[in-house]
Amino acid sequence: MKTLSIATVLYMTPYILNFLTTADTWILFVISTITAYLFGPGITLVFSNIPYMNIPATNQTSYISFYSTCSNLAAFLGRTVCRFFVEAMGTNTFRILGSTFQVRQVINLLPCFTLILTALTALLVERSNKKRELLEAKG
């Protein structure tokens, strides 16, 4: 789970750089694309191993099927909500800390916040697992 936390924090970099990209700072887009290709395989490997952690040996196929279904449903809902958000906002701009941002820039903050929550949740799960292991070792 610690690896998941590190991978999600690293994978936030492209989203932050895309958020900060403007016509004047176009080089940030190039850097964000390179970092996405560098950190993408790491987060993919971590997420592909998550279903196999802490799954009971019995009915493992059912658990993996349920995990895959939920993952695909979440991806579909994310795309759908994002599309509706962009269509609803149209060409509006946002002023954040004195700078003007377009909707497509602001939309990059949503996955960034989700990755922060994922990293924090992974750290909490790891801490809980360590406590459980210590209790089992004592008792």
CA–CA separation, 107 vs 84, rounded Å?
A: 11
Which of 114, 110, 105 lies closest to 43, judged by CA?
Answer: 114
pLDDT in the model for residue 29? 93
3-class SS of residue 92? coil
pLDDT in tens, 75-121: 999 889 888 888 888 888 888 778 888 888 888 888 889 889 989 99
In this prediction, residues 2-21 reach a mean pLDDT of: 89
- For β-strands 99-102 and 93-96, DSSP reports them as antiparallel
State the residue range of the domain holding 6: 2-138
Count of the separate structural domains present in the chain: 1
- In this structure, how many other beta carbons lie within 10 angstroms of the beta carbon of residue 85? 13
Tokens 């560098």 sit on residue = 38
- The pair of structure tokens assigned to 27 is 């080089």
CA–CA separation, 125 vs 77, rounded Å?
A: 25
Name the pTM for this structure.
0.75
